[in-house]
A = this chain, B = another copy of it.
């Protein structure tokens, strides 16, 4: 989806560039604009016209994924069980991180190239914050987790999964596993201390 309306042919080119970039990202190759141009069989400047920097292109590649997550976030906000809502949402995020190689670097970056990206990330972060606050208030998670930890922890899980390795299907399982572990840790543990009578 282009920010402004493009001419039809330009839009086709835009799509092709993003598609090529998507392929490269999926292969784990570094995103170099010259390389993208060569593979898409465009002049370099064509690619540069559409995407001023590799980061801008990467963010564009990651955008649909971010948008999907936002949709999931919206559903989660509608959930009446705060704990389940948070866990479900983070589960989606973790899955996305290990499924879509474009997401992790964009999520981890402190500065964005595209305003649109900042917007999406902020929306997503706000959703996470709300869900966490609600869960905390409901006593579903420990109080000592700040919303500033959500992104780092999600990125950390994705990173851990990458190191663990494996095929995509396994990776999703691993991510769920690590997330479940984290969630165990997050549960309010007052009961755990229960010394008995």
Chain A residues 145 to 165 lying within 8 A of chain B, measured CB to CB, are: 145, 148-149, 151-153, 155-161, 163-165
Chain A residues 169 to 197 lying within 8 A of chain B, measured CB to CB, are: 174, 177-178, 180-187, 189, 191-197
Which among B160, B165, B194 is the interface contact of A153 at CB below 8 angstroms?
A: B160
The yes or no answer to A9 lying at the interface (CB within 8 A) is no
The yes or no answer to A126 lying at the interface (CB within 8 A) is no
Say whether chain A's binding surface is mostly helix, strand, loop, or mixed.
helix
A165 nearest in chain B by CB position:
B110
A191-B195 contact, Cβ under 8 Å, with A160-B155, A163-B151? yes
With the chains together, A184 CA to B184 CA distance in Å?
A: 7
Which among B156, B182, B192 is the interface contact of A189 at CB below 8 angstroms?
A: B192
Interface size class of A (residues with CB under 8 A): 35 or more
- Give chain B residues whose Cβ lies under 8 Å from the Cβ of A148: 164
Each complex incorporates copies of this chain amounting to 4
The yes or no answer to A108 lying at the interface (CB within 8 A) is yes
Which among B164, B191, B192 is the interface contact of A149 at CB below 8 angstroms?
A: B164
- Give chain B residues whose Cβ lies under 8 Å from the Cβ of A156: 156-161, 163, 178
Q: Which of A159, A180, A182, A183 is the most central at the interface, judged by chain B CB atoms within 10 Å of its CB? A: A159
With the chains together, A191 CA to B195 CA distance in Å?
A: 7
A163 nearest in chain B by CB position:
B152
* Pairwise interchain contact A185-B181, C-beta atoms closer than 8 A: yes
With the chains together, A195 CA to B164 CA distance in Å?
A: 36
- Chain A to chain B contacts (Cβ below 8 Å), 5 pairs: A156-B163, A156-B178, A157-B160, A181-B182, A192-B194
* The 9 residue pairs across chains A and B that have the minimum distance between CB atoms: A156-B160, A185-B185, A184-B185, A194-B194, A181-B185, A152-B160, A159-B159, A156-B156, A152-B164
